Amino acid sequence: MGQKKDLTGSEKSKIVRYLAEGCSSLKIAKLLKRDHRTIKRFIQNSQQGRKKCVEKPRRKITAHELRKVKRAAAKMPLATSLAIFQSCNITGVPKSTRCAILRDMAKVRKAERRPPLNKTHKLKRQDWAKKYLKTDFSKVLWTDEMRVSLDGPDGWARGWIGKGQRAPVRLRRQQGGGGVLVWAGIIKDELVGPFRVEDGVKLNSQSYCQFLEDTFFKQWYRKKSASFKKNMIFMQDNAPSHASKYSTAWLARKGIKEEKLMTWPPCSPDLNPIENLWSIIKCEIYKEGKQYTSLNSVWEAVVAAARNVDGEQIQTLTESMDGRLLSVLAKKGGYIGR
């Protein structure tokens, strides 16, 4: 009787049946013509696998320790539950209990991402706020670009799944599967665009100006009255393609110069209300973890979402500028959030 390496599924089923009939391991080995040691090893492993796990009694947390955990959570933002409890010298608490305790006094949040602000940046933000404090912001056209990918921002594909249901499969692609660059503007209660930058075009000074000529000027600005053009203030950030000498001179030839071209402080996306419009559009196109299979499909989703943004929402964003300027001055040029 030769010793074989592994038992087949059929042999394992027969062993279980023979055991239920009261056969000994030696008799089973003879019936299956297998080595007795192989049969005994399988029976022993099966019995070990059936042993019930004895749960250790959970450690009780005192009111004094709870207060210590609360103070530690406040002092250690973004720390793990284990690090928080260890800092309080509280050991022997399983992860599930630690998380349940922390959920009553804290929330899991991501760190906010914001540009770095040094002393010079803060001073320039204050000077900008003082300069435009008396400006009629209903005449300012706020512009910016946004890139949308096929997969959307990381971490947005989360939500509740019913018990017994499997989470849907999500594609994994490099660089989010590629994306589309979108330009738009808002003024008072009106949305300008959105306009799509041609795929594969890198926005330098020349291509940026040509893009504005083909979209913004020909499709929107040209239709406006002379009085509107006279009073409108054009806002753009300090991206290299925007703030270059070439772009500034080109805009000047279009009549957008001096007071009609708003100066912009460095590292200040929080001051641009169109950033909030981008958030509204992204929440709509990526809701429920939606992904896209082509650049055209994600662009169509952006257009549809932009059409659903009504004038009241846009006016709420543009009218928020007075409050933003006051917040910048109150915080001495510091970041005000969005």
- What does the pLDDT read at residue 1? 45
User: By the 8 A CB rule, do 334 and 122 touch?
Assistant: yes
Q: Look at residues 68, 73, 72 and name the one whose alpha carbon lies nearest to residue 103.
A: 73
Indicate whether 249 and 128 sit together in one domain. Answer: yes
Q: How many CB atoms lie within 10 A of CB 318?
A: 21
Indicate whether 82 and 140 sit together in one domain. Answer: no
Indicate whether 33 and 68 sit together in one domain. Answer: no
Place of tokens 């040509």: 210
Indicate whether 254 and 302 sit together in one domain. Answer: yes
Half-sphere exposure of 144 (CA within 13 A, CB side): 19
Q: How many residues does the chain have?
A: 338
Structure tokens at 15: 């062993």
* DSSP structure string for 2-52: PPPS---HHHHHHHHHHHHTT--HHHHHHHHT--HHHHHHHHHHHHHHTPP
Please, where are the H alpha helices in 58-180? 63-75, 81-87, 95-103, 119-131
Distance CA 285, CA 148 (A): 9
- What does the pLDDT read at residue 77? 84
What are the angstrom distances between the C-alpha of 151 and each of 172, 187, 283, 300?
A: 8, 30, 13, 15
Q: First and final CA of the chain: distance in angstroms?
A: 78
H/E element, 318:
helix 311-318
Indicate whether 182 and 96 sit together in one domain. Answer: no
- What does the pLDDT read at residue 338? 64
Indicate whether 97 and 241 sit together in one domain. Answer: no
Distance CA 223, CA 219 (A): 7
Question: Is 168 part of a structural domain of the chain?
Answer: no
Domain assignment of residue 252, given as a range = 119-155+177-331
Question: Is 49 part of a structural domain of the chain?
Answer: no
Q: How many domains does one find in the chain?
A: 3
Q: Is the pTM of this model over 0.85?
A: no
Cα dihedral sign, 216-217-222-226:
positive
Which pLDDT tens digits describe the chain residue by residue (338 residues)? 445 567 888 888 888 888 878 888 888 888 888 888 888 888 888 766 555 555 556 667 888 999 999 999 888 888 888 999 999 999 888 888 888 888 888 887 777 777 789 999 999 999 999 999 999 999 999 999 999 999 887 666 666 677 777 777 777 777 667 899 999 999 999 999 999 999 989 999 999 999 999 999 999 999 999 999 999 999 999 999 999 999 999 999 999 999 999 999 999 999 999 999 999 999 999 988 888 989 999 999 999 999 999 999 999 999 999 999 999 999 999 998 76
- What does the pLDDT read at residue 18? 86
User: By the 8 A CB rule, do 145 and 185 touch?
Assistant: no
Distance CA 272, CA 277 (A): 10
Question: Is 33 part of a structural domain of the chain?
Answer: yes
What are the angstrom distances between the C-alpha of 42 and each of 36, 51, 58, 118, 298?
A: 10, 15, 34, 68, 56
Q: Tell me the one-letter amino acid at 112.
A: E
Long-range contacts, 251-260 (Cβ 8 Å, 24+): 251/209, 254/217, 255/229, 259/233, 260/232, 260/233, 260/234
Distance CA 322, CA 336 (A): 13
Indicate whether 126 and 99 sit together in one domain. Answer: no
Question: Is 270 part of a structural domain of the chain?
Answer: yes
Indicate whether 16 and 94 sit together in one domain. Answer: no
Question: Is 337 part of a structural domain of the chain?
Answer: no
Q: Look at residues 242, 317, 272 and name the one whose alpha carbon lies nearest to residue 125.
A: 272
CATH of the domain at 261: 3.30.420.10
Indicate whether 100 and 124 sit together in one domain. Answer: no
Q: Tell me the one-letter amino acid at 40.
A: K
Indicate whether 203 and 71 sit together in one domain. Answer: no
Question: Is 164 part of a structural domain of the chain?
Answer: no
C-alpha triplet 296, 297, 300: angle, nearest 5°: 85
Indicate whether 208 and 305 sit together in one domain. Answer: yes
Question: Is 58 part of a structural domain of the chain?
Answer: no
Indicate whether 253 and 299 sit together in one domain. Answer: yes
Distance CA 301, CA 284 (A): 9
Question: Is 253 part of a structural domain of the chain?
Answer: yes
